[in-house]
A = this chain, B = another copy of it.
Amino acid sequence: MRRAVSWAVSWFDLDIGMKQEKSVVLLSGGLDSVTGLAMAQQRGLSCYALSFDYNQRHKAELKAAQRIAKKMRVAEHKIIKLDSTAFSGSALTDNDIEVPEQESDGIPVTYVPARNTIFLSYALGWAEVLGANHIYIGVNVVDYSGYPDCRPEYIAAFERMANLATKVAVEGRPIKIETPLIHLTKAEIIRQGVQLGVDYELTTSCYQADDEGRACGKCDSCRLRSKGFLDAGLDDPTRYL
């Protein structure tokens, strides 16, 4: 009898699985990526969240990613540990470089070499294993125009490469890199997220948040976030130090 029930459940899962398209969602634990996740779920995609532990200063982000993945009931949440020797020369991973409170023009010191390319490559590998045809990444050109790997032309080039790289794509099921936030202002992102029921208190954006996820309120990322809530005319649920 126990076996019969188990088979019934398996067939049910299989049935649902065949109807629902899958997406890998890059989930940093910040405001943008969680909004992207909510949008992917709204579209009816089964979401597989992917986070990275790469010796970033803001470990609080990873805790936030775990809270979000659980609350938003993703199909699976994978945290990939990246060898930290691979990243250096950025204020986000290198303790010798100070996180600036005011960003200057050009490419910011918080830029991490090839970071989005490495993240998207892992997402591509997992998408291939899962048979997922979507990869969500919360890049944005409005607020972070200094990062070369956040631009639409970069994303288009990655997608083109991905569709030559993989078995899935070669077999005729192309992969789409989804960037629903790319042209939105922070206020627009927040308004859409709130409409979709995102609880932003769960997220951490600060580059130097403490272990409890409390934000400094001073860094580039904090200032953008705070201004976003102000512009959106919504209360800022961020916990500050």
Interface residues of A (CB under 8 A from B): 78, 80-83, 85-89, 107, 111-118, 120-122, 124-126, 128-129, 148-149, 151, 153-154, 157-158, 160-162, 164-167, 169-170
Give me 29 A-to-B residue pairs in the complex whose CB atoms sit less than 8 angstroms apart, sorted by A's number. Answer: A78-B85, A80-B86, A81-B83, A113-B126, A113-B166, A114-B121, A114-B128, A114-B165, A114-B166, A116-B165, A117-B121, A117-B124, A117-B165, A118-B121, A118-B122, A118-B125, A120-B121, A121-B121, A148-B164, A148-B165, A148-B166, A148-B167, A148-B170, A149-B164, A149-B165, A154-B161, A154-B164, A157-B160, A160-B160
A148 nearest CB across to chain B (Å): 5
A14 nearest CB across to chain B (Å): 18
Top 10 nearest A-B pairs (CB, nearest first) are A114-B125, A157-B161, A113-B128, A154-B164, A113-B125, A114-B124, A121-B121, A118-B121, A117-B121, A149-B165
* Known contacts A88-B129, A117-B125, A118-B125; 13 further A-B pairs (Cβ under 8 A): A80-B83, A113-B166, A114-B121, A118-B122, A121-B121, A148-B166, A148-B169, A148-B170, A149-B164, A157-B164, A157-B165, A158-B161, A158-B165
CA distance A107 to B171 in the complex (A): 10
Chain A contact surface mostly: helix
When all copies of this chain in the complex are counted, the total is 2
Most B-side CB within 10 Å, residue of A87, A115, A167: A167
Contacts of A116 in B (CB 8 A): 165
A157 (CB) vs chain B CBs: closest residue: B161
Contacts of A122 in B (CB 8 A): 86, 114, 118
Contacts of A87 in B (CB 8 A): 125
CA distance A14 to B115 in the complex (A): 28
A122 (CB) vs chain B CBs: closest residue: B86
A52 (CB) vs chain B CBs: closest residue: B83
Tell me whether A107 and B157 are in contact in the complex, defined as CB-CB below 8 angstroms, given that A118-B118, A121-B121, A125-B114 are known contacts.
no
CA distance A101 to B136 in the complex (A): 39
CA distance A116 to B86 in the complex (A): 16
A161, B161: Cβ atoms under 8 Å? yes
